[in-house]
Chain A
């Protein structure tokens, strides 16, 4: 499978700061999703943005999508120590396959 790239690979910030993670993908998508994973656990769905949408908000999360650049970004505002986790973007393509990016490890220091 053609996995997308995420940057940065690791991000360390202080509580209260904003965290921005970027994702690039390779194919035409139906939608792009963001998931969170605490160490060694299952993934939790955060937000989905469809290919005809450009921006979406959910609580402290803001996702943008640029289909011309095949890229997306996830912004977490006013971060908390509990936001410490790995964050993955996932492109859903025809055939309903989810292909995950390499992930960003976010550490929020109290």
Chain B
């Protein structure tokens, strides 16, 4: 069972917008602005999309955006494209004295 809770799946049609949530606690998502989001295609390594809640690394399209409210972070993808299909993970720093980071279980995005 993952420390951060994500929906197992979401879907949307090309051109639409979708949002993926990532729920944690005051010890991780809610307590720090160190939430990052990743896209993973089958057989590939995860790719960093969003860092520190809402910052996009160079080269990531502005269709991808991140936000946070309380203990829940969110990733929004606007103007869905076929290539956006894949699995999305959130990761957060944690103040746990036994772990550095905690992961979400992943959300499978299907582009209809």
Whether both chains belong to one complex is answered with no
Seen from chain B, the residues whose Cβ lies within 8 Å of a Cβ on chain A are none
Seen from chain A, the residues whose Cβ lies within 8 Å of a Cβ on chain B are none
